[in-house]
Amino acid sequence: FEIEWETMASNGAPILEYEVQMASDIEEDPIQWEVVGKGVFNTYCVTGLMQGKQYFFVVRARNIIGWSDFSDISRSIMTTAIPAPGIPRSTSKGISWLQLEWEVPSIDITIERFQIRRKRITEIDWIETNQIIHVGKCTVGDLIPCVSYQFCVRALTILGWSDWSQASDVISTIRRF
């Protein structure tokens, strides 16, 4: 599950890292926060969430002066009851395309289709593809030669979309010559 927050004020010094904490019950006193990750961007992909459960998040920033106060508690995030597909992996590659494959979630309802998103390893934003995919594999085209990418996949059922899978390992297209 990917969370995103507004860039925090840095008091004049650049932000060196963010820390993301998560809790599943904010009625407890005190709230039991768990550090789930650190990074340099104002987005973070939280993994290992239980299906059909509610979560809350807070974020703080660090610069050379020290740690900021924590953000306000996020709104409630409820995970879907549909498990995410497996992590995409490359099975073949070309100059401007990659063939991907992933484990299909084992559920009792029909998966109508899958959706892939990608990002260049040097970028922050994900781009969702418009491909209609009905099986646990596809070929992603219109890629740039000798560039590294990451991919995620999600499934659509009559209950809605699953969460995105974890991001793939870095996968590169091949050189033109």
Q: What is the pLDDT of residues 115-131, one digit of tens each?
A: 999 999 999 899 999 89
Question: What is the DSSP annotation of 80-102?
Answer: -SSPPPPPPEEEEE-SS-EEEE-
Please state the three-class secondary structure of 101-167 as a single string: ECCCCCCCCCCCEEEEEEEECCCCCCEECCCCECCCEEEECCCCCCCEEEEEEEEEECCEECCCCCC
**pLDDT number for residue 29:** 78
Encode pLDDT of 11-70 as tens digits: 788 899 999 999 987 787 788 999 999 988 888 888 778 777 889 999 999 999 899 999
Q: Is the dihedral of CA 119, 123, 126, 132 positive or negative?
A: negative
pLDDT at 144 over 80: yes
- Give 112's pLDDT tier (boundaries 50, 70, 90): very high
**pLDDT number for residue 175:** 87
Whole-number Å distance between alpha carbons of 74 and 33: 13
Whole-number Å distance between alpha carbons of 3 and 18: 12
Instruction: Take residue 78 and report the two structure tokens written for it.
Output: 């409820």
- Give 9's pLDDT tier (boundaries 50, 70, 90): confident
Nearest to 16 by CA among 51, 57, 61: 61
Instruction: Take residue 109 and report the two structure tokens written for it.
Output: 């309802």
Nearest to 55 by CA among 1, 8, 19, 4: 1
**pLDDT number for residue 52:** 75
pTM: 0.62
SS3 176: coil
- Give 89's pLDDT tier (boundaries 50, 70, 90): very high
